[in-house]
Amino acid sequence: MHYRVLGATGIEVSTYALGTMMFGDIGNTDHADSTRIIHAALDAGINFVDTADMYSAGESEEIV
C-alpha cells in the first residue's frame, strides 16, 4: 500500500480510501458483511475511511 501525507497534518493516509456510503439502510444492510469489508480494507493497509453522518442517516458511521 502506498501512503501520502495529508496536507500539513503530518498524518500518512493510504492512497486508496474505503467509501462507506453504501453501508446501512441505503445499500448493504448486513452489518456483519460491512464489518468484514472494513476488516479486509484494514488488512490491506487502507487507513483512510470516507464516511458522513448523512450516509444511511448516520447508520454508516455506527457500523464503522
Would you say residue 54 lies in a domain? yes
Spatial neighbors of 62 by CB under 8 A, at least 6 apart, are 24
Per-residue pLDDT of 30-59, as tens digits, reads 999 999 999 999 999 999 999 999 999 899
Would you say residue 1 lies in a domain? no
**DSSP letter for each residue of 30-41:** -HHHHHHHHHHH
55 in catalytic set = yes
Range of the domain at 30: 18-63
Q: Contact, 9 vs 1, CB < 8 A? A: no
Distances (CA, A) of 48 to 25, 33, 41: 22, 19, 9
Average pLDDT over residues 9-35: 94
Average pLDDT over residues 5-27: 95
**Tally of domains in the chain:** 1
- Which of 18, 41, 55, 63 is catalytic? The answer is 55
Q: Contact, 59 vs 28, CB < 8 A? A: no
pLDDT of residue 28 exceeding 90: no
pLDDT of residue 26 exceeding 90: no
Q: What is the pLDDT of residue 7?
A: 96
Would you say residue 55 lies in a domain? yes
Average pLDDT over residues 13-33: 94
